[in-house]
Amino acid sequence: QAAAAEVQMFSVPSYACQRRTTLENHNAVLTDALSLLAENAELSDQEGRGVAFRRAAAVLKALPGPVTGLTQLRGLPCLGEHSLRVIKDILENGASDEVESTRQSEHFKALKVLTGIFGVGPKTAERWIREGIHSLIQLRESGHTLNRAQQAGLLHYDDLNRPVTRAEADAITEVVVRAVVAVAPGAEVTLTGGFRRGKLTGHDVDFLITHPEEGREEGLMSKVVSWLRSQGFLLYEKTTRNSYLESTEGPARPASNMDRFERCLTIFKLDEDQRPGSEETKLWRAVRVDLVVSPISQFAFALLGWTGSKLFERELRRWAGHEKAMSLSSHALYDNNQSRYHRATSEEEIFAHLGLEFVPPSERNA
């Protein structure tokens, strides 16, 4: 009895958007294991399983200390039988056989290598694997016709699979700001994604661009991209135009995180400082950069939607739908009970409309 009382019990609310999740993770061994199973599920077209593992990992990320025994987890949300089994194995044996055999499996390794190519999703990777293609060399030798994105992805494979540092993100921010100032003085650039949450590295750099005068953001993307191209900063670019107004689906699609802003997926050519003593002759590296343009009237929603994490976003939309009968997207918040939109000019207002305590970006690392 006395011993049990000394065990620290944990308690966390159900939705990740009700929690404060910093980058300080006291349970990295457990969350890495669960994240690997989530990734495997996502790459294998098992989205439901993927979300379940992501939610379980997110609960552990939010705990104020390391888990040492299963009893501490009693009553915690989102920990299903499967996740608990994995946690138990690691606590008792130091590792989970399921996690380790997944990590070592040829199928998983091939999926990772192939989806590591920019422009290659799980479906394409799966198709190639069924043809016996497990490596980049085999893909090159297969004679498959690759689209433009995939060609760029293969060409810059190593660079694009090397984490982007905060310093590199800052250097790219300077370039994007220069581009925007040159073509549209008064327009504003905001760093979003993982770097806005305080992450020290990322797989890409995300920017949201807007103009304080509604309507002045129109045509901005093509001007910014033209400037970047003319200055030699782009190795690849593909712009998708805004499809928000012409859509017939209605403005908020809570089931999907895809928004319809004008966006440009790019690969930047970033000059690199030569490392002292390095034999390297290449003086630049490739970096994935996402540019999104939003009208100022939707900016708060776009900012919230593009700051992440992906699970935090998913949980916000689930909270809105299930607890508040509202539909949240990166464009708007619709109240189904009141049959009207809620306006917002800041993230704080959106949290307030949703009946949630404000969670700053650095605490959205679910």
Give catalytic residue positions.
204, 206, 290
Which of 42, 259, 315, 347 touches ligand ATP (CB under 6 A)?
Answer: 259
Q: Which does 259 bind (CB under 5 to 8 A by kind): ligand ATP, Mn ion, none?
A: ligand ATP
What tokens appear for 130 in the block? Answer: 């069924």
Q: Is the dihedral of CA 92, 98, 99, 100 positive or negative?
A: positive
Please tell me whether residue 347 binds ligand ATP under the rule CB under 6 A.
no
206 touches ligand ATP (CB under 6 A): yes
Q: Which of 15, 207, 227, 306 binds ligand ATP (CB under 6 A)?
A: 306
Q: Which does 140 bind (CB under 5 to 8 A by kind): ligand ATP, Mn ion, none?
A: none
Q: Which residue has the tokens 């327009």?
A: 187
Cα 306 to Cα 304: distance, rounded to the nearest angstrom: 6
Query: Which CB atom, from 203 or from 216, has the smaller least distance to ligand ATP?
Result: 203
Nearest distance, CB of residue 311 and ligand ATP, angstroms: 9
Residue type, 29: V
Contacts to ligand ATP from residues 50-79, by CB under 6 A = none
The listed partner (ligand ATP, Mn ion, none) that binds 330, CB under 5 to 8 Å by sort, is ligand ATP
C-beta of 232: minimal distance to ligand ATP in Å?
24
Distance in angstroms (rounded) separating the CA atoms of residues 78 and 58: 9
How near is the Cβ of 279 to ligand ATP at its closest, in Å?
A: 30
CA-closest candidate to residue 192, choices 285, 290, 54, 262: 290
Shorter beta-carbon distance to ligand ATP: residue 251 or 308: 308
Tokens for 286, please give them: 């490739």
Binds ligand ATP (CB under 6 A): choice among 168, 217, 313, 347: 313
85-114: contacts with ligand ATP (CB under 6 A): none
Binders of ligand ATP among residues 166 to 205 (CB under 6 A) are 193-194, 199, 202-204
To the nearest whole angstrom, how small is the minimum distance from the Cβ of residue 150 to ligand ATP? 18
217 binds, among Mn ion, ligand ATP, none (CB under 5 to 8 A by kind): none
199 or 211, CB closer to ligand ATP? Answer: 199
Q: How many CB atoms lie within 10 A of CB 172?
A: 21
Nearer to ligand ATP, 112 or 203 (CB): 203
Tokens matching residue 359: 């969670």
Which of 218, 147, 195, 133 minimizes the C-alpha distance to 365? 195
Among 309, 316, 331, 359, the residue binding ligand ATP under the rule CB under 6 A is 309
Given a contact cutoff of 8 angstroms between Cβ atoms, the answer to whether 225 and 263 are in contact is no
Does 237 sit near ligand ATP (CB under 6 A)? no
The amino acid at residue 232 is G
Residue 298 touches ligand ATP, criterion: CB under 6 A = no
Told to check if 153 binds ligand ATP by CB under 6 A, we report no
The rounded distance, in Å, linking the Cα atoms of 134 and 265 is 26
Which residue blocks in 45-192 are alpha helix, DSSP H?
47-61, 81-93, 97-104, 106-115, 122-130, 136-142, 148-155, 157-160, 166-183
Q: Of residues 18, 124, 161, 257, which one binds ligand ATP by CB under 6 A? A: 257
Nearer to ligand ATP, 217 or 262 (CB): 262
Spatial CA neighbour of 336 closest among 243, 251, 261: 251
Question: CB-based burial of residue 341 (10 Å sphere; 0-12 exposed, 13-18 middle, 19+ buried)?
Answer: middle
Q: Where are the alpha helices (DSSP H) in the chain?
A: 2-6, 28-43, 47-61, 81-93, 97-104, 106-115, 122-130, 136-142, 148-155, 157-160, 166-183, 193-196, 220-230, 299-307, 310-324, 347-353
**Which positions lie near Mn ion, rule CB under 5 A?**
193-194, 202, 204, 206, 290
Whole-number minimum distance, CB 238 to Mn ion, in Å?
13
Smallest separation, CB 36 to Mn ion (Å): 20
Residue 315 in contact with ligand ATP, rule: CB under 6 A:
no
Binding residues for ligand ATP (CB under 6 A): 193-194, 199, 202-204, 206, 257-259, 305-306, 308-310, 313, 330
